């Protein structure tokens, strides 16, 4: 079964669970709760500022923040970063003990704390092999039933109709 990223790199979805054979989104109530949570969360993350950029610039300079390109972790406790700061996340995850928080709610806070304390990947650190997929090439998250889901999608979304299928998990391996 194919895995597919939607909107952002990082999280992977079972293609057959999310899409019909015609490439249309299935009704959300046919998906598992975890899948539903992630899809709904994605709609809020796409177009939002990178966690690490935000820690640097804050709301006062929000226009200097890059948009999120990749998301790791659990919905609402995710680390969501731009391409530039993905290196820092991967360094923290693999080299600074971040991996112990895999699947845990602390992942976000622990990463933020490390980064806010000046934690950075050293010059030249590449981490895992770079996945050179532009999030603009990924399918956009479905429009959730706003009343049922009670989420604020805020940002306008770009038209995205290509799908990128590969075998990665929703954590770096």
CB 66 within 8 A of CB 54: no
Residue with tokens 């990463």: 111
Which CB, 50 or 90, lies closer to Zn ion?
50
Residue 95 C-beta: closest distance to Zn ion, Å: 19
Among 55, 82, 131, 160, binds Zn ion (CB under 5 A): 82
Between 19 and 92, name the residue whose CB sits nearer to Zn ion.
92
3-class secondary-structure state, position 4 = strand
Interaction with Zn ion in 5-24: which residues (CB under 5 A)? none
Q: ∠ CA 98-108-17 to the nearest 5 degrees?
A: 95
Within residues 98-157, the interface with Zn ion by CB under 5 A covers none
- Whichever of 69 and 110 has its CB closer to Zn ion, that residue is 69
Burial of 1 (0-12, 13-18, 19+ CB in 10 A): exposed
* 52 versus 149: smaller Cβ distance to Zn ion: 52
CB of 78 to Zn ion, least distance (A): 14
Phi, psi angle pair for 5, to nearest 5°? -90, 150
Binding mask 32-71 toward Zn ion (x if CB under 5 A, else -) reads ------------------x-xx------------x-----
With the C-alpha atoms ordered 101, 133, 119, 97, is the resulting torsion angle positive or negative?
A: positive
Q: Where are the alpha helices (DSSP H) in the chain?
A: 15-18, 33-45, 51-57, 83-95, 106-116, 146-149
Interface with Zn ion (CB under 5 A), residue total: 6
> Which parts of this chain interact with Zn ion (CB under 5 A)?
50, 52-53, 66, 82, 85
């Amino acid at each position: 079964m194919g895995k597919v990223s939607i909107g952002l790199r990082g999280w992977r979805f079972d293609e057959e669970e999310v899409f019909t054979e015609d490439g249309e989104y299935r009704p959300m109530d046919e998906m598992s709760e975890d899948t539903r949570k992630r899809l709904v969360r994605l709609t809020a993350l796409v177009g939002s500022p990178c966690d690490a950029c935000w820690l640097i610039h804050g709301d006062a300079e929000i226009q200097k923040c890059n948009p999120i390109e990749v998301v790791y972790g659990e919905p609402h406790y995710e680390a969501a970063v731009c391409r530039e700061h993905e290196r820092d996340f991967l360094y923290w995850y693999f080299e600074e003990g971040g991996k112990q928080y895999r699947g845990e709610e602390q992942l976000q806070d622990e990463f933020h704390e490390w980064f806010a304390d000046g934690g950075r990947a050293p010059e030249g650190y590449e981490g895992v092999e770079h996945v050179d997929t532009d999030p603009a090439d990924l399918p956009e998250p479905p429009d959730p039933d706003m009343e049922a889901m009670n989420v604020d999608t805020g940002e306008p979304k770009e038209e995205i109709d290509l799908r990128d299928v590969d075998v990665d998990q929703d954590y770096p391996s």
